[in-house]
Structure 1
């Protein structure tokens, strides 16, 4: 049997060998009472202990729904706490989370549902002019592997959560013990500018180390609070944002469901964020806001500007 091998550049810091779930457990054990996630629009907040409990609650629900290791679970949603819960709960049960761009049109969603073999889809109710429920109903007859769609902010979300019960603790523990950091855990799609979108399959090892070393490069610690206005469906949001945060005990701050320059600056000010992410056009929009100088941004010490796409 062949064995996997790893190589990386000169560094005193070794690669992480954790699964995403195990790495989250380390953060929870170290910083249970520190804030892990803040959703500014709804005012909801989670400490690491509370966040882990809600991740487990969703993981129980996934097990109760019959999600097996390696099953494809789609997430087609704007930035919201439920997006983050799905990210970590699918990792806990070994399902492969498939990121779907909120800006996709019906034919693109149909392609991804079919091509990735998604069996369970989590979706927002709407985004801008898109009615997600109507769009899913339009294509689901041509997507035979799609068994169920759960809408965030809809009774179907509560119904799903209600299926999971703590008596599934042992089953979840067994499932987690069977997982390897080399297991596929995420599929991300290209923009498809030269044809249909193309999916790249990534492992715990791939994306956890990506997030961890990004956090190391800008010296994250449990004291940091990261304002994340970039989309979660892209690696900028879910990896450089979320995984960089949880691998260091930092806090993820969601300023708005999609980019809003004023909401972003208010979140930095009110939540005393130490780090801010964005693409150049986002930073330009913030700098050009009337009254920009009135925002107290003195808490910022770092951040990332990158060329990632933003819907």
Structure 2
């Protein structure tokens, strides 16, 4: 059958891959599974219920909830009648919630729980007095989403096919608001055609033996949402993790073949594995580090030769098999996106027979522009892979990556000025990222255009390249390189406190708070040595000369990170302005 609109995936899935666990989530200690026909029936009930409640084509309906099957039921239910789904992160600030509800003129919203319901009720009268609110969990005084299903089951007319037939590939599917790290959020308009093009082309590159996935990245972000649609197309069962805190336990339950993640989580998995290896003694410890060293030298397609491959076979049996067990034991591939992945992590996981498929894209491109894939020649370490079929990339004179293709958004909602600034007369979307094509095939991202800065000496610094290198240190959780219009680069460093506390324990250093630990002179000296170690290989003008340690944890809730776990540089620099001044004032004092 022809798939031109996202909801066409449902019938395709039912015909090709009917199963008892199309969707699953854990509740009250056990996994609740939804069969393919049950999923479609529930989605249709949502559509009929929305029609009864007066929702029409092009009306905006929001979902503000963590991942759960109800998210899918409502998403597909909304799109089938031609309405537009507006995903909202559960962690949004009140100001962003107000802006989105008002700007999108949201008619109805589905929220997960009491906490989010309270947030919406608190601002409803101010920005959207007519807003209809339904909750997924039972909340006193709130309408439960089962009422929508009940309405739908009682009024199944006119036939939904009439509504589906009126929806064209170029019709608006979803309105996704950017996180607003640089000002007012912008609504990205994505069509059915945008997402379908991405799903169909990405699926051709995905390992066909994969049958079961674990999902924990927020579906409010286009990365996870497109991948969920791809799972539906490929007939892959989708299991939703209970929360970010239960991922390890959920993996043991589900034994997934795949999942999507962001580099920060992979870095934490790797650091935890290495920390456990360091606790071993004698021959076991020696074997662990021998295998780790071997893995870090891994090259694709047997390029290291017969002797290396023989040793790797032994390492996989003795050491790397345990890595796979930690991820459920049946993992085949992990898709990484949202930020740059350290090449050494890709190498060592591939060596462990866990294929890391790093890709690149933006909300505005639905999202995939390029992606590494497991077929021969499909992956190159240190790059974000070959260009997706149907997509065209052009590198501007200043190095900016420009993209054209069926995946590029319709524009920014109510923002013709921003749209014409982002998409030029030739139809190329300007990504704001700097990159280059390796071997005329693989894309390498070098930095964000807006983040590259010039020192007082006139030298350009690409902070992301430096930051990625420094984060190889198990003692560094996060780092921001600074130095615009200053004499040299410096850094704000958030220590990896668990690893640092272990180091302090071995050195006999005692402390009571994070604030106390970062002021300890031995700790400061240790970080000086780490900076010197990772400065090697960079030009003298690029090297970080001074730094300050940060005691606070950075998170989505405290505002320093976006929902996809990338850093909000402007927010952090504003928050720690006095520390930045301290770094450069101390230099002036000694000048």
Specify if TM > 0.5.
yes
**Residue 87 of structure 1 corresponds to which residue in structure 2?**
75
1:175-228 CA distance string (max 9 Å, x none): 11211122101011111011111110111111122233222222346x521211
1:30 and 2:30 are equivalent in the alignment:
no
Picking from 231, 249, 255, the partner of 1:266 is: 249
1:71 and 2:59 are equivalent in the alignment:
yes
**C-alpha separation in 2, matches of 1:146 and 1:195:** 27
How many angstroms does 1:34 deviate by?
4.8
Residues 228 and 212 of structure 1, relative CA distance in 2, 3 Å threshold: farther
How many angstroms does 1:266 deviate by?
2.9
Picking from 210, 213, 221, the partner of 1:234 is: 221
- Tell whether the 8 Å contact from 1:183 to 1:203 is kept in structure 2 after alignment: yes
**Residue 277 of structure 1 corresponds to which residue in structure 2?**
260
1:23-43 CA distance string (max 9 Å, x none): 211111222235211113452
Higher CA-based Rg: 2
Structure-to-structure mapping, 1:6-85, within 5 angstroms: 17-41=3-27, 43-85=31-73
Picking from 170, 194, 211, the partner of 1:182 is: 170
Q: Which moved more, 1:191-200 or 1:147-156?
A: 147-156
- Tell whether the 8 Å contact from 1:226 to 1:274 is kept in structure 2 after alignment: yes
Residues 203 and 145 of structure 1, relative CA distance in 2, 3 Å threshold: farther
- Tell whether the 8 Å contact from 2:255 to 2:331 is kept in structure 1 after alignment: yes
**Residue 302 of structure 1 corresponds to which residue in structure 2?**
333
How many angstroms does 1:91 deviate by?
1.6
- Tell whether the 8 Å contact from 1:78 to 1:102 is kept in structure 2 after alignment: yes
- Tell whether the 8 Å contact from 1:212 to 1:248 is kept in structure 2 after alignment: no
Structure-to-structure mapping, 1:136-215, within 5 angstroms: 136-144=120-128, 146-154=130-138, 155-165=143-153, 167-215=155-203
How many angstroms does 1:101 deviate by?
1.4
1:21-68 CA distance string (max 9 Å, x none): 222111112222352111134521112111111111111111111111
**Residue 96 of structure 1 corresponds to which residue in structure 2?**
84
**C-alpha separation in 2, matches of 1:61 and 1:92:** 12
How many angstroms does 1:276 deviate by?
1.6
RCO greater where, 1 or 2, for CA within 8 Å and sep 6 or more?
1
How many angstroms does 1:161 deviate by?
1.8
**Residue 11 of structure 1 corresponds to which residue in structure 2?**
none
**C-alpha separation in 2, matches of 1:170 and 1:306:** 42
Q: Which moved more, 1:97-106 or 1:154-163?
A: 154-163
How many angstroms does 1:167 deviate by?
4.3
How many angstroms does 1:109 deviate by?
0.4
Picking from 253, 256, 272, the partner of 2:239 is: 253
Residues 286 and 54 of structure 1, relative CA distance in 2, 3 Å threshold: farther
1:216-251 CA distance string (max 9 Å, x none): 222346x521211111100122112x1111111111
**C-alpha separation in 2, matches of 1:33 and 1:162:** 25
Residues 182 and 141 of structure 1, relative CA distance in 2, 3 Å threshold: same
**C-alpha separation in 1, matches of 2:197 and 2:230:** 9
Picking from 80, 90, 113, the partner of 1:125 is: 113
- Tell whether the 8 Å contact from 1:17 to 1:181 is kept in structure 2 after alignment: no
Residues 36 and 149 of structure 1, relative CA distance in 2, 3 Å threshold: same
1:218 and 2:206 are equivalent in the alignment:
yes
1:259-303 CA distance string (max 9 Å, x none): 22xx22333332231112111111233342798856363311112
Residues 178 and 26 of structure 1, relative CA distance in 2, 3 Å threshold: same
- Tell whether the 8 Å contact from 1:188 to 1:201 is kept in structure 2 after alignment: yes
Residues 171 and 145 of structure 1, relative CA distance in 2, 3 Å threshold: farther
- Structure 2, unmatched stretches of 5+, are 277-321, 340-562, 566-591
SS in 2 for 1:114: helix
How many angstroms does 1:169 deviate by?
4.5
Residues 209 and 264 of structure 1, relative CA distance in 2, 3 Å threshold: farther
**C-alpha separation in 1, matches of 2:162 and 2:133:** 26
